Amino acid sequence: MIRVVLVDDQQLVRAGFRALLERSDDIAVVGEAADGAAGVDVVVAERPDVVLMDIRMPGLDGLEATRRIVGDERLRGVKVVVLTTFDADEYVFEAIRLGASGFLLKDTAPDDLRAAVRVVAAGDGLLSPKVTRRVMQAISVSAALPTGVERLDHLTDREREVLGEVGAGRSNDEIAQALHMSPATARTHVSRILTKLHARDRSQLVVIAYETGLRGGLSSP
């Protein structure tokens, strides 16, 4: 059973998400909160698998709540997915830098919502190639980030290539096709990169790829 906590200041949004998620036998909403501070408290108490976190809330916002959850050693297994109303939200990128496992639009289709929760609970990041390109390109014009290329010193040349493809939002199958390797080999490379860079999931690898200039196909249409 995948245990979910909902954090959003709009009661109707929480009720809607709860109703959609609990139509599946493998997902249970174990807690709700209307602001970031209460959300952190609920997460500490319930230790869910996934938190659906609104970014823009009065008081303690979703960014600070995400930072607190990700930084709490007791909550290492908890995955945060931030919620937004539009896919070029500048706060999304900051949330991912803080450790969120990805983001969802609030108008996501019901089946996609449930699938997203399962993906994140399984340990994968939630950034589609299309949305990855939009977010990264939108942020790049307004935020100059340090390159930090020394972070890549422990990666092989092949691992850097794979990281660039992850930075483009590509799946393991797409990476395998682009770099002429088997999907199993692509998965192995991604796993090794996660370990070497001490990254929580693929979404953090996207951020690292962006910050170090390994952005694979981000500029492609």
Please state the domain extents for the chain.
2-126, 147-211
Domains 2-126 and 147-211 agree in fold: no
pLDDT at 192: 92
Overall CATH class of domain 147-211 = mainly alpha
Pairwise CA distance, residues 157 & 132, whole Å: 23
Residue 203 tokens read as 């979404």
Looking at 19-106, which runs of residues are DSSP E strands? 27-33, 50-54, 79-84, 103-105
Pairwise CA distance, residues 76 & 164, whole Å: 26
pTM of the model: 0.70
Q: How confident is the model at residue 127 (pLDDT cuts 50, 70, 90)?
A: low
Pairwise CA distance, residues 211 & 90, whole Å: 15
What average pLDDT does range 155-166 have in this prediction? 91
Pairwise CA distance, residues 107 & 99, whole Å: 23
- Is 2-126 in CATH node 3.40.50.2300? yes
Task: Check whether 137 has a pLDDT greater than 80.
Answer: no
Angle at which helix 183-197 crosses helix 172-179, to 10 degrees, equals 110
Residue 38, helix vs strand vs coil: helix
